Structure 1
Amino acid sequence: MANGIEGGTFHGPVVQAGTAHISMPAPAPRRRTRRAVLPATVGVVLAAVAVVWALSLHFPGEPVAIDAVDVVNPMPGTSFRLPAALDLSPDGLDALNRGDYGADGSFAAWFARNDAVWMGYTQIRITLSGGGADTVRITGLEVEKSDCRTNAPAGTLFYAPTGGNGGDDTELMFFQLTEGVGLARTTDGDSYFARRVITLKPGEQETVQTFVSAASQDCDFVFRLTVARPGKPPLRKVVDDHGRPFRLAASPEPQGGERAPFEGYGALYIGGAASRDGRFTAQDARTFSFSGAGSAGQGAG
């Protein structure tokens, strides 16, 4: 997100062209005028550029800069779905398992090209830095959800449940989209910012790791960051997915029953803890069932 420059009105130096006195026959005076104006115009432009550059050094931008926003879900190990049924050939599925996502070589590009949506949870890494002249404090981070709805199974499901907690989560901020206000919480459910405040000095960088979950509804959401500034009202900043809301679909896990709801999908691929080696394999959505790690039912690969 670009930094702005706050301040009053600034006036750059004015450059005025002189008159060149050269004895030449007519109509040379008109040509002399043009040739005298060109150096003057260049001088004004260069002076203006110099003023803007000088101001950028002496007048800082926003108190907090959002340097990067990245989805860092493990693959395989996170479920996602596509709106259309994707019938992959054995070679196509093997290429996907090898990390061959096409000409651009990027899973993110493949994910966006297929209009895919993460399911159950998503991990988002936010990189912040102090962008002003003063030390500031991050005193809150919330998720604000919108357009929540319940969707029937359809399209393609890549089902990849995890076999554990996925690693050290002690520094993660947890958010649950089923809550009325999505406050950042610790692993034991306490308010994250009741225990800790993030301080950012000018130019200092901090990475925030978030874990957002959705159990029963699909939702769009953004983060809202609260920044405390010395002698000024708190600042609220929106963190989104590069200009649009994040999207998260409801978990495909069983909700109160033994059988996961796979029957409505046009194509089903299972991986993670639901397969023998973690790689995705094609399954029949009408007959496949899974109720926990190591307990895949008929047709498990």
Structure 2
Amino acid sequence: MRVLITGATGLIGQGIVKQCHERGIDVNYLTTSISKIEYGNNYKGFYWNPKTQDIDKQCFKGVDAIIHLAGASIAKRWTPNYKKEIISSRVTTTNLLINTLKGESHNIKQVISASAIGIYPDSLVNYYDESFKHFGKTFLSAVVQQWEQAVNEFSKLNINVAKVRIGLVLSKEGGALQEIAQPIKFGFGAAFGSGKQWQSWIHIEDLVKLFVYILEYNLVGIYNGVAPNPVTNKELVKAIAKRLNRPLFLPNIPKIFMKWLLGEMHAILFESQRVSSRKIEDKGFHYNYNYLKPALKDLLGK
């Protein structure tokens, strides 16, 4: 099997590439940086530039499936221009793949796209599964809705479509966990707002495994990329502090302060989504890290 990956050099993409190779799956990947192009037997790079609609069509050669991860980071200040970039980087890249495939002879039978749990409304009481349809009205929800609508167009090419709505990814290589842990290490850790907002998290190892599981079993539909046991923001911060053996002296950080500091982007720290993992578990998928404590032990040591 050979899979084409967009976003292969990112945090999740690197893990998927590694696991694909461990399972004998060859990888083609698309990159906007010519300097990142490699060309080996099981790992071949190809150039694309979604902004100019350029793509090396050789990237599809011998490919059975696409794993689509490309998208600009949401962890930057949301200026009007950057908000357009967040949407465009997801929708434009998807449209470029689809429009190029329309004119190509190919053997691609499956697309697995990243998505996000930000599509669900902010709620302290709801427990969301993939059948939920009354989406939120926030910017993040609008982004994910447009993203998923674009990805659905692959089905018109007789390609099976799967979407993974990713939660808070915990990794030792970067991302949310390191951002939360850093101030705690120096004694400045605190929960955000009430601290009651739900954090549906997942260990990077399980998320990578989940993508490859969907690939190997050719699963179709939407799957929540979260661990089975979400926690509140307060529980998350306390668990990290305990693992790092650091006290939490500070009061919770007020929402108004973070809004002043981060602008509209502050929403990602305060929105609450408690999300179910039951659907992928019912398909036979098993998590290595069902609970936060062992996940943090693996990622933070000590």
Same fold (TM over 0.5): no
Q: Indicate the structure whose relative CO is greater, using CA pairs within 8 Å and at least 6 residues apart.
A: 1
Kindly name which structure, 1 or 2, has the bigger radius of gyration based on alpha carbons.
1
- Using structure 1 for the length normalisation, give the TM-score: 0.25
- Using structure 2 for the length normalisation, give the TM-score: 0.25
